[in-house]
Structure 1
Amino acid sequence: MSEERLQKIMARANLGSRRACEMIIEQGRVSVNGHPATLGDKADPDTDAITVDGQPIRVDSYTKRYIVFNKPKNVLSTNKQPEGDSRPAIRDLIPIEGHFFTIGRLDADSEGLMVLTNDGELTHELSHPSFEHTKTYKVTVHGQPDDEVLERWEQ
């Protein structure tokens, strides 16, 4: 394998998002071949000894996982429940270990299919606006909306 940025290797080893891994590097907790790493450093996960807090990381032990979840109403689309909010978050209902991304989001009042994964590349490809994926929503409307309301919704 060729050299790549440390935070990308660390994220693939399921140590957190790339941003979280950047913070770990900035905190001085990462070494490559016994030398302290700095943000921007590159390494080859096949040949370099990469450690975090003195513990070696192994990219080959990382398995991509995908979870399809039917989010019920009054459940938050976040991984962590915000302070002071009594509603459960998705991760409160799914007992999984490790860092998982929630692809997309639904309002707390909404219900529907959501995907959680530790695959950062898939998350980026499905979530980033530059990929321009079409989203389809099915909604239930009480009453008959007039033409003006329908026109606003179409925008």
Structure 2
Amino acid sequence: MSEKIHKILATVGLGSRREAESWIVEGRVSVNGNIAKVGDRALPSDKIMLDGRVLSTNYQGYTRVLMYNKPEGEICSTVDGKGRATVYERLPRLSKGRWISVGRLDINTSGLLLFTDNGELANRLMHPRYEISRQYLVRVYGAVNQPMITRLMKGVVLDDGIGRFDTVKPNLNSRSDNEINSSNKWYRVTISEGRKREVRRLWQSQGVEVNRLKRIGFGPIELSSIVRKGEFMYLNEYQTKSLFGIVQLDAIYHPEKEIYRDMRQRKEKKLRARGSNNSQKKTKNT
């Protein structure tokens, strides 16, 4: 069955649908030798090229999704001209496609970031129409009272429209008495959109300063306590299907043993390549 070209490119992880559409508009995509137009469709058997390079559009049949515990100081770009660390440097390599981040966290924000090789899934998870809840732990400096919390939940005017929290609750359980009695207070907030720095801007609109911010949940996925800063963990089948469900996509998922077998085969291939290189070095030295 034919599908729109930009959707094919997104599904196999080559980019978001918006990126794929821009490539088509720029005349960089061709199908069977003909320059593609936005809205054109293609079959899996068609020869699709980007910038003159034939693309592999045979999807592996299952979707990989992982959670990453982002430390402060890393940026959510593939390359940084200033030489700063990026979140992609710690992710496993893919033999096909690429990792696509589900949204972004700014350089001073830590916590849960989801990555997938399925562009269609990533695009839907980021789309505002699905109103997916994001949960954060936030430490603010300044006086917070109930009228302020009521305003934050009812909605306040920001420079890009009305913003609001779905919930705002004190988070005191795991904090020391010294911190509880200080001017720094921890809150657990949820918000159903992902505008740039919106959590910080909402608190700043009330005259208080955010000095720590950590995302701990995205939709049905919570940051696991066993995933330390700078580490990642693949989602299991149940977690992955739950993400497909909230954005009304049919989940095509292989059993975990097939995923791990694929990972093991790629790891063994690397080890064999390393062994071959070491043998060649020894031969040269003798």
Partner of 1:107: 106
1:141, distance to aligned residue in structure 2 (A):
4.3
Identity %: 35
User: 2:43, 2:107 → 1: CA distance?
Assistant: 42
Q: Which moved more, 1:9-18 or 1:52-61?
A: 52-61
How far has the Cα of 1:70 moved from its partner? 0.3
Question: Which residue does 2:57 correspond to in 1?
Answer: 59
Query: Does the 8 A contact of 2:66 with 2:116 survive in 1?
Result: yes
Query: Structure 1, unaligned stretches of length 5 or more?
Result: none
Greater than 6 Å deviation, 4+ residue runs? none
Larger radius of gyration: 2
**Deviation per CA, 1:114-143, whole angstroms, max 9, x where unpaired?**
111121222123221111222222233457
**Do the aligned residues in 2 keep the contact of 1:79 with 1:102 (CA within 8 Å)?**
no
The SS at the match of 1:11 is helix
Q: Deviations over 1:23-61 (max 9, x none)?
A: 33334343323333233221111x323233444333225
Alpha-carbon contact 2:9-2:15 (below 8 Å) kept: yes
Give how far 1:87 is off: 4.1
- Aligned pairs (5 A) from 1:12-27: 12-27=11-26
1:135 and 1:119 mapped to 2: Cα distance?
A: 20
Letter in 2 for 1:90: V
Alignment of 1:36-55 (within 5 A): 36-45=35-44, 47-55=45-53
Q: d(CA) in 1 for partners of 2:110 and 2:128?
A: 22
Contact 2:27 2:35 in 1 (8 A): yes
Q: Considering fraction of residues, name the structure with more helix.
A: 2
Where in structure 2 are there 5+ consecutive unaligned residues? 155-286
Quote how far apart the aligned CAs of 1:17 are: 2.3
CA distance in 1, matches of 2:17, 2:103: 18
User: Is 1:123 aligned to residue 122 of structure 2?
Assistant: yes
Residue in structure 1 matched with residue 87 of structure 2 by the alignment = 90
* Matches of 2:39 and 2:111, distance apart in 1: 39
- Taking a change above 3 Å as real, the CA distance of residues 30 and 127 of structure 1, as seen in their structure-2 partners, is closer
Instruction: Output the TM-score relative to the length of structure 2.
Output: 0.44
On the 8 A contact 2:100/2:119 being kept in 1, the answer is yes
